[in-house]
Structures are given as C-alpha cells and as structure tokens.
Amino acid sequence: MKTWLCKKLFIYAFLVILLLPTTVNGEDAVNSSIKVDRHWIYVFQLDELDMFEVIENFFINNTGKTMFNDSLHIWIQNNSVIAADCCNYTFDMACRFNATGGGDCFYLNRSNDANLYVGYPISSENKLSYYGQKESFSITAFSITDSSIKNDTLQLNATIGALSVPRKQESFQGDGIHLTSENHDVGMLPMAVTYMPFNIMAIENITIFNNCTDNEVIGFEISNLPQGWNAEVWNDTSRLSNVSLSPQELVNLSIIVTAPSNIASIYVRYITQVDIDENEIKEFFTKRYLYETEKVTYEVFLSTTDELDVSNDLEMVHDELFWRKEFERYWFIARNNDVQPNSYTTIGIKFGETTDNQSSTYVILLVLLAIVLVIVIFLFKRIDFFKEKGTLKKRDSSSEKSIKELQEQKKKVYSAIKRIEREFNDGIMSKEDYEQLRAAYKKRAVKILKEIDRLKK
C-alpha cells in the first residue's frame, strides 16, 4: 500500500513540476478595488484520498462606474495542476463568463508567492460591473384619443444592489390621467447563477387612473433610460403598448426594468495535493482569501468523515453529514459571511480512513485480491511446469505485466466515467458531450476487460 501511494505521489509531483506556470513578478499583498460578492468553492476528494478536485467561482465587481485595469489574484494550494474544462482543459487557464454566457479564457501566471497566481480577465471592457449604479428614468401616460387631456409623468430611480424605497400613496386630484407607483427608488438586486453572470431585473407595480368623463385609450412612453437598459409595461400575461379605461376606472400594471450585467463570473478548476500532517495522520485543504468578500460557500464531498475538523470561520449549514450515493461521498455545505482579506480557511480530515458505508468497497477489493492471488499462483505453477523450455516463462511474465497495465488502464477509465457523470450532474457538461464521452469510455472499458480475460486464459 505504501509503495503504491509513494508511486502515485511521485507521478503527481513530477506532473506538477512539468506543468508549473511561468513565474511573474508580483506583490504578496493584493491592493485592488475588487470586491467579491460571492465566492463558491467546490471540493471533491478523489480516490487517491490526498488528491482533491477544486472548482472556484468568483462573482466580482469594482463598485460601479470606476474604470478597471487591474489584474486578478487567486490563491491556490501547493502542488496543484490548473486546467479549466471551459478552456478545453488547457493548463494554467481560467475563464471569465461574459454577458452572453460564453467563456473568455485567460492565463494564470504564478507570482513570487508560490501559491499566488495572477491573471488578466479584462480585455476589451473597462468595467467589472455596474454594481451600486443609480440611474433615473421616467414613464409618461397620455390619452391617445384626446390630445388635450392632461398627461402624467412618473419619475423613477433604479439602484443596482439596493432595496426599493416605498412611495407615499398619492391621491388622484384634477381631471386627466394619473400615474403612481409603489416605490420611488426601485431596488435591482442581482440574482446569481453558479456558472453565469448576474441577472439584474426589477418589477415595479404602477397604477393608472382615468379621471376623465369619457372612455380613454391610454398609451405609455418610457424615456431617459441609460444605454443598454430596457423597460416594458405588462399586465398579468402580456406586454402592453396601451390600455383602455372607462371614466373613474383604474388598472394595476407592472413595469419590468432590466439592466446590463457586467459583474464578472471568474471560474478556475484545479487538482491539488493537500497538506499531510503525519503526526496527526490528517490532511488539510487550505484556502486563503485575497479580497474582501460578501459571502463564501463551500460544497464539500469527502470519502471519510472520521475526525472532521472545520476551521471556526466556517458555519456548517447542516447539523450532520449526508451520504450522496451518486457520488459515493459524504457531503456538507459550509458558509462564511463578510470575509476579510488575507484570512484563511482550513478543512482537515483523517488521512486514509474509511467508514462503514464503504464496506461494500472492501468486499469488492477483497474479491479482486483473491482473484489476483489465484492468477498469480496459477502463473507460478505454469512457470515451474514449463521451466525447462524457457520460452514460456518469458511469455507468462509478459502476460502478467500486461494484465497489471490493463488493470491500471481500467481504473483510469472507471475514474473518468465517474468524473464526467459528476460534471454532467453538476451542469458543467452538456448532455450531448456527456453521452458521447460516456459511450467512448464504456467502449474502451469493454475492450480492456476482454483483453484481460484473454491474457488470463
């Protein structure tokens, strides 16, 4: 077991050395106008136990209209291989999801600090967001049937990232068309989606009253909207360009306002070898935060739960861990609100231990070991039987070596199938890609199993 583990560690260490990114000059301390609204971190313990797959999403902004020409710093644990699937698994690349949902890839280069990587996600744009931006616009209601009737204009403010301010109800006085709304300052709260930019929208309830003596067809005109913004008047089912009202009749409608979202969603994925404390037989996943962050959420999948140690800055969402059958892992969610720059989070678990829920895995391993033992004994007998001929000994030795290599290939294929199933369930991979890759891997697995059977015979 120790020999196998050492071999694995050597392979990963060698791979990391080959794939180390170009070092660039940089300061250990990060001075930037960036603020992170949400930081979502996915941690999945691999079959090697001390290897973790980590996916991080940063939803960042620079508080509105401020010009932005800064770099982005990301702290990544030692011995990591960075390869984002949205960038076709190209090494040392992360991506920023743009306003259309597509990924714009950019390189991460290592700075003087071995854990600190620097990227430049902004190219043609000079802003990260409109967060905190306040704009004014107006909506006018007017009579289409009689131009002499007095119109009414409603002035509204819209602030991204704020709450709406209630408007004092106005009484309807005088002849003409009257227009009022629930709020004076319309709050436009961004709605975060994991792999997409924020969607910024507000729905404001308005009331139109016909204080005339005749039926009136009332139209709407929205003016002074900022560039890229949109506003429409709707009833419960459809968009309206006008409405017909009898004398003294009122109608409640909605004005739907949408603003362009340039809040950057930064996505980075890496495989990391966690730190091992041999004295405590524990491994630790560590994360350092470089920016002021509104909210950090961890979604963690572990093979073991013995002596789970989560740092005090994290608050567990559930009182207990849950077994996720589809991942064959224990699952928990933890959060941290109002994260300060240069603070740390650690998650420690007992190294190399398993639990009762994995007893079936033990049974399978024991059966496989028994099969391998029978094959070895059989091969030794055949070697002794044909020892005088000499040639068969070499052939059996070659077959045994080939079986071991095929067994390793089989493990890799099974691991790849689990990975694409996990990425498909998480919404990372499309159904078409998932089905194509899964079919290819299954075909490869069948070929390997047939070849193993042939060599065993």
Rounded Cα distance, 322 and 302, in Å:
10
Where residue 383 falls (left for φ over 0; alpha for ψ -120 to 50; beta otherwise) is alpha
In this prediction, residue 448 carries a pLDDT of 77
Residue 244 has pLDDT above 90, yes or no: yes
The encoded tokens of residue 263 equal 């809040």
Q: What is the model's pLDDT at position 161?
A: 67
Largest CA distance in the chain: 118
Q: Which pLDDT belongs to residue 32? A: 64
Architecture of domain 2-127+265-351: Sandwich (2.60)
pLDDT tens-place string over residues 272-325: 887 666 666 677 888 899 888 888 999 999 887 777 888 888 988 887 888 888
Establish how many alpha carbons lie within 13 A of residue 404's alpha carbon, considering only the half-sphere containing its beta carbon. 9
Task: Return the pLDDT at 263.
Answer: 63
Per-residue pLDDT tens for 112-166?
777 899 887 765 454 555 556 678 899 999 999 888 888 899 988 888 767 788 8
Asked if the model's pLDDT at residue 77 lies above 70, the reply is yes
Mean pLDDT for 211-235 is 89
pLDDT for residue 277: 63
Residue 184 has pLDDT above 90, yes or no: no
Whole-prediction pTM value?
0.51
- Residue 12: pLDDT above 60? no
Q: What does the block give as tokens for 351?
A: 């190294």
